[in-house]
Amino acid sequence: MNAVFSPEPQTRPQPWPGLDPGARLRLDPAACLGRRYPGTGCRSCADACPVEALAEVGGPSSGPSLRGDCLGCGRCVAACPSEALAVPGLSRAPVAAAPARPGVAPAPLAIDCWRVPWADSPAGALRVPCLGGLSATWLLEQLAESPQRPLTLLDRGFCTACPVGGAIHPAIAALAEVGRTLATLRVSPAGPPRLVQFPLPPERMDRDLGEPLLEIRVSRRSLFAGPGRVIQPPGGGSLQVAVPPEPSQAQPQRRLAALSRLAAQPALPAALFPTLAAGADCSGHRVCAAACPTGAIREYRTEQGLGTDFDAAACIACGVCTRLCPEQALTLLPAGDAADTYPGPQPLTRFALSTCPDCGADYQGGEPACPACLRDHSFARDAFRTLFDAAAA
């Protein structure tokens, strides 16, 4: 790989505050695009909520609030581009496989829904609030962690009757994205994620909002202690409990690392990453670099000029840069050229520097003086005209 995205560490509030006193859904305000950049139009979480429980605070896109009963399914968590949301039961860390034994195939990892009774989940299953809370990045990480272990998402047939369900299984979109990614990488792991029909009678569905055994067996302190935990349910066997790790905004690094481990060759296809182009209207304000939440756009300055570089692997395609650009000079596309490979950080804008003959400051552009001196000249001319016109009158 040419480059690995390494943004500067950011301070995170610990623990994340809940959106409501009794809500399981928690928010990292420092990572929320709507709160950091009010009016930029981020509605990912609200659009993903199946029961329309999320609303906006203080006007368009200034961060989420709860206007209804949150069911804790985590679909907003999977949809949030900056990973600003978290719910108990969904982890961002992949589940490690048991140590391999010679000649023995790895045991499959089954992922089951909290609304399935404990006794009906396979031994060793990972139980999550909703399979729709699993992001494509998490599934890719899981494949990279254990490429030879089959990964099965259990379809119990509950979705049409579930309060957070629907006619289409909520994991379909993430599975489709993973399938497209693997096809682009031209790799086929032994255990790609699959949605497996494993129906139960509808009356077996648990309509409670919580996971009682999770709340009983895992204390509040341990809830944020690690990426996963094996516990013993009544009746024997074992089940995985996914718990959130420490807050992190490392989704681009994690995705890049997973893709690099899965790829059959070092160079990754450019089609896996967004593209960003600056048009001729760009004036070099570099608002995009200041606002980019992941550092995908970075400002640089040399003796020859100044401008910005763009690292596609760090981009989460949130669109903040395009919406905040004063000249609307940026074009963001979700994927690069399928014939190219990811080149690492590339120049986005470059502007030559000139030295102002009046004040000696460096400035960009082809004007005869820096913007401050030009403003002073304009003010002096306007003042002279005003005085001259007044004297003539």
Residues 232, 123 share a domain? yes
Q: How far apart are CA 375 and CA 142, in angstroms?
A: 57
Residues 83, 22 share a domain? yes
Cα separation values, 83 from 14, 30, 228, 232, 289, Å: 15, 11, 18, 30, 20
Mean pLDDT (whole number) for 283-298: 88
pLDDT, the chain, mean: 79
pLDDT at 123: 86
pLDDT at 198: 93
pLDDT at 232: 47
Residues 22, 65 share a domain? yes
Confidence tier at 147 by pLDDT (50, 70, 90): confident
Buried-state track 218-255, b at ≥16 Cβ within 10 A, e below 16? beeeebbeeeebeeebeeeeebbbbbbbebbbbbbbbb
Task: Specify the pairing of strand 109-113 against strand 125-128.
Answer: parallel
Q: How far apart are CA 12 and CA 375, in angstroms?
A: 41
Lowest mean pLDDT among 109-118, 268-277, 295-304: 295-304
Mean pLDDT (whole number) for 345-351: 90
CB atoms inside a 10 Å sphere around CB 42: 29
Residues 119, 196 share a domain? yes
3 pLDDT more than 70? no
Residues 379, 335 share a domain? no
pLDDT at 13: 40
144 neighbors 163 (Cβ within 8 angstroms): no
pLDDT at 105: 74
375 pLDDT more than 60? yes
Query: In whole angstroms, what separates CA 174 from the centre of its chain?
Result: 13
Lowest mean pLDDT among 230-244, 342-356, 375-389: 230-244
277 membership: H or E segment, kind and range: strand 275-278
How many structural domains comprise the chain?
4
Mean pLDDT (whole number) for 316-324: 90
Residue 204 resides in a domain: yes
Q: Which of 96, 71, 79, 28 is nearest to 211 (CA)?
A: 71
Residue 175 has φ and ψ, to the nearest 5°, of -65, -40
64 neighbors 54 (Cβ within 8 angstroms): yes
Residue 5 resides in a domain: no
Mean pLDDT (whole number) for 9-24: 63
Q: How far apart are CA 34 and CA 387, in angstroms?
A: 49
- What is the residue whose two structure tokens read 């009544």? 234
Q: Which of 391, 371, 322 is nearest to 33 (CA)?
A: 322
Query: Which domain does 324 fall in, by range?
Result: 269-354
pLDDT digits (tens, 9 = 90+) for 194-215: 999 999 998 888 877 666 555 4
Which of 197, 215, 246 finishes a domain? 246
91 pLDDT more than 70? yes
| Contact partners, residue 318, CB within 8 Å, separation at least 6 | 33, 42, 81, 82, 293
Q: Which of 265, 269, 226 is nearest to 92 (CA)?
A: 226
Rg (CA), the chain: 26
pLDDT at 239: 47
Residues 116, 238 share a domain? yes
Confidence tier at 247 by pLDDT (50, 70, 90): very low
Mean pLDDT (whole number) for 214-224: 39
Could you give the percent of the chain with pLDDT greater than 90? Answer: 30
| pTM of this structure | 0.78
Residue 12 resides in a domain: no
pLDDT digits (tens, 9 = 90+) for 34-90: 888 877 778 889 899 998 998 865 555 467 888 888 888 999 999 998 889 998 888
Residue 147 resides in a domain: yes
User: Which tokens is 139 given?
Assistant: 């599934």
Which of 58, 87, 116 finishes a domain? 87
